[in-house]
Structure 1
Amino acid sequence: MTQCRLCGSEAMASVVDLGATPPCESFLSADQLDQPEPAYPLHLRVCTDCWLAQLPVLITPEETFEEYAYFSSYSTSWVEHARTFVGDAVRQLGLGPAEREAFVVEVASNDGYLLRHLVDRGIRCLGIEPSVNVGAAAREAGVPTLTQFLTPATGTAVREEHGPADLVVANNVYAHIPDVVGFTRGLRALVADDGWVSIEVQHLLTLIEQNQYDTIYHEHFQYYTVASAIRALASGGLALVDVEPLPTHGGSIRLWARPAEAAGEASRRVAEVLDREKAAGLRELSGYTEFSARVAKVRRDLLRFLIEAAERGETVVGYGAPGKGNTLLNHCGIRPDLLPYTVDRNPYKHGRFTPGTRVPVLPPERIAADRPDYVLVLPWNLRAELVEQLSFVHAWGGRLVFPIPELSIVEVKP
C-alpha cells in the first residue's frame, strides 16, 4: 500500500503485519473443505500525514457483504444497546411522532435490529443494507429496507423519494467502506441541512491500548481516531460536533456530525478525546511502535495455554464464531487439534467451518453435552453478557478463557 485513501499521501508506516488470512466471514461448508481457499495479506499501516490507519483494498465490499453471515439480533447486549440509543435519540432530537413527522435512515441496517424500535414507535424510517440475506430478514420483521450500498447517487435517490433524513445512523460501517470520501458524501446527501448524523466506530486508541488486534480484518478498511474522523467527515461536507466514548466492541466512539454549515462549535468532549489521543502518541509514530510486540505476546500466551492444556489431557472448546475470532485463530495457527470446535447462537453458521483454520461451528448446546474443562470466548467484547450466559459451566468445574487484552482464566459463579 503506497498511498493514503483519504488524503493521498505516500507517507505510510507499518503498524502490525498479521500475515495472510481468508476473509473473516467466509465460513466454509463441508463440500468446500477440499477446495482452494484464498488468503490475503492483513497488514495495517497508518498515514503519517492525516493519521488514518488503514488496510489495502484487497477484497471489495461487494464480495464481503452481498451474502453476509453476521446477524446483529443474535447479540442480546447489542439489541439492548440499539434500543437505548433509539430512546435517547428520539428524546434528545425531538423525533417522536408527537413532536413532528420525523424520518430516520440507518445505513448498514443489518437485520433491522435498531430500526425495529423506531417502527414500534411509529416513526418513519428506512434501512439501507447491501447484504441480500440479512436485508430480507429485516423486511420479514417489518422494517422497510433498501438493498443497496450507500453512494452519493444512492443518498440522492433516497432523499428525492423519501425526503431528507432528520437523523442518519451509521453504526459499525464507517470502517467497512474503502471509498471513505464517497461514502461520507452519501451520508451528506441523505441528511437534512439541519439534520444529524450518528456514527459508531471502534476507537483506534482503545484498539492499541487494549491489544485488540483481532478486530483488524479485511472488511475493516479504516481504523479511526477522532482526529482522523474529523478529516474524513470534512471530506464529505460534514463537521464533528460531539463525541461519546462507548464500551461496545471493546471501546468505540459515537460521532455526532452535522452538515458543516449548521454545525457550530464542537463540544468540550471532542477536545478532551483529541487531547487523550495526542497524549497517547497517536499523532506521531511513537504511539504505534510497540503495538506489534504486544500482539506477538498475546499469540504466544494463548498458544502456550492451549498446548499445555492438551498435554495435560484437558479439553478446550470455543464459544462464538465472530469475525474477530477468525483473525485470532488464523494469526495464532489454532486448528482443531487445539480447538476441536466452537459454538455460535447463529444457526446460519452451524455445520460450517471457520475460514482458514477449519474449526467446526456447532450449536451452543454442545458445550453442556461435552462438559469441557475450558471455554475459549472469542467475542471477548461481550464479556459481561457471556460470563452470565455461560455460568452453567460452573456445574462441572469448567472455566472461561479470554484472550484479549491479555490471557485471562475466569472461574464463573452459578
Structure 2
Amino acid sequence: MNCRLCGSTNLASVVDLGATPPCELFLSAEAVDEPEMTYPLHLKLCTECLLAQLPPLITPEETFTEYAYFSSYSDSWVRHAKDFVDAQVARIDPKFVVEVASNDGYLLQHVVAGGIRCLGIEPSVNVGEAARDKGVPTLTAFLSPETGQAVRDEHGPADLVVANNVYAHIPDVVGFTQGLRALVADDGWVSIEVQHLLTLIELNQYDTIYHEHFQYYTVASAQRALASGGLSLVDVELVPTHGGSIRLLAQPAESAPEPTRRVLDVLSREKAAGLHELTGYAEFAQRVAKVRRDLLRFLVDTVDEGRTVVGYGAPGKGNTLLNHCGIRPDLLQYTVDRNPYKHGRYTPGTRIPILPPEQIAVDKPDYVLVLPWNLRTELTAQLSYVGEWGGKLVFPIPHLEIVEVKP
C-alpha cells in the first residue's frame, strides 16, 4: 500500500476493525440469503505526510452510483446548510456557486431560493434526481480535473465551490483537488467540511471509519492535500457536525493570503494532542476495543434479563459499529430509519431489519440504541415519546451512556 497523497510506503497501523461489507450497500429481502463481499477495514497512518487512510479496496462508482444516503432527512443538517449559505452570501456575495457531491439539493436549495446561479455536481443518479425535483440544477458526474474544466468552460468560474463531507470520500486526492481548483475563480473561495481526525481520536468515533471514507484529516494533512492541487488554506472553523468537523476555507495558491490565526491555533491543538507524530495514535485501538466490550456487555445482559433493544437510524457509521461488535438480531431486534429507501432492507453484514420509525411506538421497547449519535440533540427531542412507557436511549459513542427521556 502506498500513501495516496505522497506515495510513501511507510504506513503504520492505527486500528484494525476486521473485514466488513461496504456500509451503504443495504440488502434487499431477496439478497439476505446471498453471499456478501467483505473488505478489510484497517486504518493506517502515513509516517511521512501523516495522512490517515484506508487502502482503496472499493471504487467510488461501486458506492455512489446508486446511493442510500439523502441529506435532507436530517433537519439539523439542512439548517446547518442554510446557515452556511446565509453566512457566505453575506461574506463574499457570490454570483455563481458550485457544490460538489451536492446530494439531494439540501444546500443548493437555499442558494436557488436566494436567486443566485448555481450548479450541483452529484455522481449518484437517484439522489441527483431528487435535487432536480427541487429545482436545483444538477450534473450527474464524479469530479475530476477534466470535469472541473468542462464545467468552468460551460458555466464560467465559480465564486464559491462547496465540498461538504466528500473530501474523505475520494481515493484520488490530488486529482479531486485539481478539479476543485479548475472550478473556482482565481480570486474565489473553496469551502470544504470534513470530519476532524482530532475529535475522531479523542472521542473514540471509530464508527466513522468505513470504506467510502478513504482518508481522515487533521488540518496539517489537509493543508498538504490542498497544496497538491494548487489551493492554499486561508482559514479554518471548527464546527460540531458529524461529531466534530473542520471547515477549510481555501483559495488558489497564487492569490491566497497568509493563513489566519485560527489555522495556527488548530495546528497547535493537533500538535499538543500528538497527532503530528505517531504517539498520538498509540492508544486508540485499546479504547476502541473498550467501546465494543461495553456495548456488547450491555446488550447481552439486557437480553438475558428479558428486556428488548431496538435501534434508531441506519447510517453508514452504524454499520461499522454493528459489524465490529458482531451484533445480530438476537441482540438488536431491528432498527428504524426516516429514509423510505431503506425500509424493508437489511443492514449489510449483520442482516438487521430496517423498519419505519413508527414501529418503535408500536412495540414500546425498553431501550433504543441511537446509531447516528452525532445527531444526539435532534434525536433526543424526536425520541422523547419513548419516555412515555419508561423506555431509555442508549448512546454507544464516545462511551456507553444510558439516558432517560421525558415525554
- Contact 1:54/1:221, CA 8 A, preserved across alignment: yes
Q: Determine the structure 2 residue equivalent to 1:61.
A: 60
Post-superposition Cα deviations, 1:238-295, rounded to whole Å, max 9, x if no partner, equal 0000000010000000000000011111000000000000000011111001000000
1:103 is matched with 96
Question: Which one of 320, 345, 348 corresponds to residue 313 of structure 2?
Answer: 320
2:388 pairs with one of 373, 395, 412: 395
Counterparts of 1:155-174 in structure 2, within 5 Å, are 155-174=148-167
1:368 aligns with 2:361: yes
Q: Which SS does the other structure have where 1:338 is aligned? A: coil
Please name the residue that 1:50 is paired with: 49
Paired letter, 1:23: P
Spell out the pairing of 1:256-271 with structure 2 (5 A cutoff): 256-271=249-264
What's the offset of the Cα at 1:94?
1.8
**Secondary structure at 1:326's aligned position in 2?**
helix
Counterpart pick for 2:229 among 217, 229, 236: 236
Partner of 2:139 in structure 1? 146
Whether the 8 Å CA contact 1:42–1:55 is kept in 2: the answer is: yes
Which residue, 112, 117, 123 being the options, matches 1:119? Answer: 112
Provide the rounded CA distance (Å) in 2 between the counterparts of 1:321 and 1:249. Answer: 15
Instruction: Check the 8 A contact 1:129/1:145 in 2, yes or no.
Output: yes
Unaligned runs of 5+ in 1: 96-101
Aligned mate of 1:137, from 116, 130, 139:
130
* Residue in structure 2 matched with residue 19 of structure 1 by the alignment: 18
- Alpha-carbon separation, structure 1, partners of 2:403 and 2:92: 42
What are structure 2's unaligned runs of at least 5 residues?
Answer: none
SS at match of 1:318: strand
Aligned pairs (5 A) from 1:269-308: 269-308=262-301
TM-score (norm 2): 1.00
- How many residues are treated as equivalent by the alignment? 407
Alpha-carbon distance in structure 2 between the residues aligned to 1:379 and 1:211: 14
Kept in 1: contact 2:388–2:406 (CA 8 A): no
1:350 corresponds, among 334, 343, 353, to: 343
What one-letter code is carried by the residue in structure 2 that aligns with 1:54?
A: Q
* Equivalent residue letter for 1:207: L
SS of the residue 1:192 aligns to: strand
Q: Does 1:218 align with 2:211?
A: yes
Counterpart mapping for 1:23-34 below 5 A: 23-34=22-33
| Whole-Å separation in 1 of the counterparts to 2:91 and 2:298 | 48
SS of 1:261's equivalent? coil
Work out the CA distance in 1 between the residues paired with 2:363 and 2:239.
Answer: 36
SS in 2 for 1:329: helix
- Asked if the contact 1:48–1:283 (Cα under 8 Å) also holds between the matched residues in 2, the reply is no
Q: Which runs of at least 4 in structure 1 moved beyond 3 Å after TM superposition?
A: none
- Residue 98 of structure 1 aligns with which residue? none
State, as a whole percentage, how many aligned pairs show the same letter. Answer: 79
Q: Distance in 2 between matches of 1:343 and 1:224?
A: 31
TM-score w.r.t. the length of structure 1 is 0.98
Q: Indicate the RMSD between aligned Cα atoms, in angstroms.
A: 0.4
Letter of the aligned partner of 1:294 in structure 2? Answer: R
